[in-house]
Structure 1
Amino acid sequence: MDNAGWHAQRRAERDSYRYFSRRHRGSDGQYVPEVVVGPLPSGQYTTQSPPELAPRPSNVSDSATHRVGLAQLPPAERARAQRIPQMDPVLQFMVGPLLRYDTVDMNGVWHGAALIVTADAGSFYDPVPVLTYQWDPEEPARTPNGSTLSTFSKYDLSPHPADPHATALLTWEESKTKATSIDQTQRVVGQEIYVYSGRGGTFTFWRFPIRIQLGYNELCIKYSINGGMQLSFHVPTIQQNMRWATYSCNGFSAGVNPDDFRGPGFRSGYDPMWVDLLQQHSQQPFHVLVGGGDQLYCDSLTREPEMQDWVHSQNTAAKLSCPLTPEITECIDRFLFNHYCASFRHGAFARANSSIPMLNMCDDHDLIDGFGSYPDDLQSCPIFQAIGARGYFFFLLFQCFINPYYDGLSDRPGEHPFKSLVLGFQGPFVGLPSHSFLAPLGPNVQILMLDCRAERKKDTVCSQAQYKKIFDYITQLPSGVEHLIVQLGIPIAYPRLVFLETALESKLNPLIALGRTRNFGLGGLVNKFNSDAELLDDLVRVRLNCVDRSLEVCLRTITGRQLAHKKERNTFIQELQGIAKMKRLRITFLSGDVHCAAVGVLKTLAGGKNTPEVPPSVDFRYMINVVTSAIVNTPPPVGVITMVSSLATKMHKTLHYAQTDETMMPIFTHDPDGTSRVKNKYIMGRRNWCAVRWDNRTGEMIFDLRVEKEKGLGTSVGYEVKVPPPQWAPGR
Structure 2
Amino acid sequence: MAEDTFRTDATALDDGGALLGPILFLDDARDGQMHLSALVFTRGIDTPEPLVCAEGHYPFAEIAADVGWRVLRARFAAHTRAPITYRALGQSHTIRTGYDGDLNIAFASCNGEENGDLDRDPNERNAMWARLRDDHNARPFHLLLHGGDQIYADEVTLGHPLSEDWPDRVPKDPERADLRDLRAHLRRGFFERYMTFFASCPAFMELAASVPSLCQWDDHDICDGWGSLPRSRTYSPVGQTLYEVAREATLIFQHGCTLDDMPGRFHDRTGLSLGWWIDLPDVRIVAPDLRAERTRRQVMGDVGWSMMEAVAALPPTRQILFVSSVPLLGPRLSVLETAMVVTPKMQEYEDDLRDQWQSRAHRKEWRRMLQLLTDIAADTGAHVTALSGEIHLAGRATMPLGEHCTLHQLIASGVAHRPPPLAWAKVLGSLAALGEDPLEGAPITIHPLPGQAGRYVAERNTLVVTRTDEAWHAVWDLEVSGKTEPLALAGA
In the aligned structure 2, how far is the partner of 1:46 from the partner of 1:723?
Answer: 37
Partner of 1:535: 350
Contact 2:272 / 2:303 at 8 angstroms: preserved in 1?
no
Specify whether residues 665 and 187 from structure 1 end up closer, same or farther in structure 2 by C-alpha distance, changes over 3 A only: same
In the aligned structure 2, how far is the partner of 1:320 from the partner of 1:458?
Answer: 20
Q: Does 1:206 align with 2:72?
A: yes
1:640-683 residue CA offsets vs partner (Å, 9 max, x unmatched): 11111122222213322xx211111233434xxxxxx3xx2x21
Which one of the candidate residues 673, 677, 687 is aligned to 2:460?
687
1:265-321 residue CA offsets vs partner (Å, 9 max, x unmatched): xx5212211111111101110011100001111011133x2148741797x4x6444
Contact 1:371 / 1:537 at 8 angstroms: preserved in 2?
no
Q: By how many angstroms is 1:329 displaced? A: 2.2
Contact 1:688 / 1:708 at 8 angstroms: preserved in 2?
yes
Which amino acid letter does the alignment assign opposite residue 359 of structure 2? G
| Identical-residue share of aligned pairs (%) | 23
Q: By how many angstroms is 1:47 displaced? A: 3.5
1:387-430 residue CA offsets vs partner (Å, 9 max, x unmatched): 1111011101111011113x2xxxxxxxx6x22121177xxxxx
In the aligned structure 2, how far is the partner of 1:502 from the partner of 1:391?
Answer: 33
Which one of the candidate residues 214, 237, 241 is aligned to 1:359?
214
Partner of 2:50: 130
Which one of the candidate residues 24, 28, 47 is aligned to 2:9?
47
Q: Does 1:707 align with 2:469?
A: no
Contact 2:282 / 2:318 at 8 angstroms: preserved in 1?
yes
Contact 1:91 / 1:124 at 8 angstroms: preserved in 2?
no
Q: By how many angstroms is 1:240 displaced? A: 2.2
Partner of 1:667: 449
Specify whether residues 457 and 94 from structure 1 end up closer, same or farther in structure 2 by C-alpha distance, changes over 3 A only: farther
Match runs of 1:152-231 below 5 Å: 184=54, 186-194=56-64, 196=65, 200=68, 203-215=69-81, 217=82, 219=83, 221-225=85-89, 228=90, 230-231=91-92
Q: Does 1:470 align with 2:336?
A: no
In the aligned structure 2, how far is the partner of 1:342 from the partner of 1:256?
Answer: 10
Which one of the candidate residues 178, 190, 195 is aligned to 1:336?
190
Which one of the candidate residues 366, 369, 380 is aligned to 2:224?
369
Partner of 2:3: none
Partner of 2:319: 483
Q: By how many angstroms is 1:220 displaced? A: 5.2
Which amino acid letter does the alignment assign opposite residue 480 of structure 2? K
Specify whether residues 294 and 270 from structure 1 end up closer, same or farther in structure 2 by C-alpha distance, changes over 3 A only: same
Rg: which structure is higher? 1
In the aligned structure 1, how far is the partner of 2:100 from the partner of 2:335?
Answer: 50
Which amino acid letter does the alignment assign opposite residue 47 of structure 1? D
Contact 2:42 / 2:71 at 8 angstroms: preserved in 1?
yes
1:126-149 residue CA offsets vs partner (Å, 9 max, x unmatched): xx641123xxxxxxxxxxxxxxxx
1:494-535 residue CA offsets vs partner (Å, 9 max, x unmatched): 11321322342x4xx4635xxxxxxxxxxxx56xxxxxx332
In the aligned structure 2, how far is the partner of 1:424 from the partner of 1:404?
Answer: 8
Contact 1:323 / 1:382 at 8 angstroms: preserved in 2?
no
1:524-567 residue CA offsets vs partner (Å, 9 max, x unmatched): x56xxxxxx3322436xxxxxxxxxxxxxxxx7322252xx110
Specify whether residues 241 and 510 from structure 1 end up closer, same or farther in structure 2 by C-alpha distance, changes over 3 A only: closer
Partner of 1:114: 38
Q: Does 1:458 align with 2:296?
A: yes
1:7-61 residue CA offsets vs partner (Å, 9 max, x unmatched): xxxxxxxxxxxxxxxxxxxxxxxxxxxxxxxxxxxxx943368xxxxxxxxxxxx
Contact 2:412 / 2:462 at 8 angstroms: preserved in 1?
yes
Specify whether residues 649 and 510 from structure 1 end up closer, same or farther in structure 2 by C-alpha distance, changes over 3 A only: closer
In the aligned structure 2, how far is the partner of 1:491 from the partner of 1:239?
Answer: 28
Q: Does 1:274 align with 2:119?
A: no
Match runs of 1:509-520 below 5 Å: 509=342, 511-512=344-345
Q: What is the number of residues matched between the two proteins?
A: 484
Q: Does 1:599 align with 2:431?
A: no
In the aligned structure 1, how far is the partner of 2:117 from the partner of 2:72?
Answer: 35
Contact 2:10 / 2:20 at 8 angstroms: preserved in 1?
no
Q: By how many angstroms is 1:237 displaced? A: 1.9
* Higher strand proportion: 2
Partner of 1:402: 257
In the aligned structure 1, how far is the partner of 2:174 from the partner of 2:164?
Answer: 7
Contact 1:310 / 1:319 at 8 angstroms: preserved in 2?
no
Match runs of 1:312-711 below 5 Å: 316=169, 319-323=171-175, 325=178, 326-347=180-201, 348-405=203-260, 407=261, 418-423=263-268, 432-440=271-279, 442-477=280-315, 479=316, 481-504=317-340, 506=341, 509=342, 511-512=344-345, 533-538=348-353, 557-562=356-361, 565-603=362-400, 614=403, 618-619=404-405, 622-656=406-440, 659-670=441-452, 677=453, 680=454, 682-696=455-469, 699-709=470-480
Contact 2:118 / 2:196 at 8 angstroms: preserved in 1?
no
Taking structure 1 as the reference length, the TM-score comes to 0.62
Specify whether residues 349 and 247 from structure 1 end up closer, same or farther in structure 2 by C-alpha distance, changes over 3 A only: same
Which amino acid letter does the alignment assign opposite residue 77 of structure 2? R
Specify whether residues 246 and 233 from structure 1 end up closer, same or farther in structure 2 by C-alpha distance, changes over 3 A only: farther
Partner of 1:253: 114
Which amino acid letter does the alignment assign opposite residue 462 of structure 2? W
Specify whether residues 221 and 503 from structure 1 end up closer, same or farther in structure 2 by C-alpha distance, changes over 3 A only: same
Specify whether residues 185 and 329 from structure 1 end up closer, same or farther in structure 2 by C-alpha distance, changes over 3 A only: closer
1:210-259 residue CA offsets vs partner (Å, 9 max, x unmatched): 211122x4x2524223xx2x141323226325311000001123268976
Which amino acid letter does the alignment assign opposite residue 42 of structure 2? T
Taking structure 2 as the reference length, the TM-score comes to 0.90
Which amino acid letter does the alignment assign opposite residue 334 of structure 1? R
In the aligned structure 1, how far is the partner of 2:485 from the partner of 2:331?
Answer: 20
Q: By how many angstroms is 1:687 displaced? A: 0.7
Which amino acid letter does the alignment assign opposite residue 488 of structure 1? S
1:366-391 residue CA offsets vs partner (Å, 9 max, x unmatched): 11111111111111111121111110
In the aligned structure 1, how far is the partner of 2:471 from the partner of 2:417?
Answer: 31
Stretches of structure 1 that go unaligned for 5 or more consecutive residues are 1-43, 50-85, 134-183, 408-415, 426-431, 513-524, 527-532, 540-555, 606-613, 671-676, 711-715, 727-732
Partner of 1:141: none
- Secondary structure of the residue aligned to 1:640 is helix
Specify whether residues 393 and 632 from structure 1 end up closer, same or farther in structure 2 by C-alpha distance, changes over 3 A only: same
Contact 2:8 / 2:198 at 8 angstroms: preserved in 1?
no
Which amino acid letter does the alignment assign opposite residue 466 of structure 2? R
Specify whether residues 718 and 90 from structure 1 end up closer, same or farther in structure 2 by C-alpha distance, changes over 3 A only: farther
Contact 1:455 / 1:463 at 8 angstroms: preserved in 2?
yes
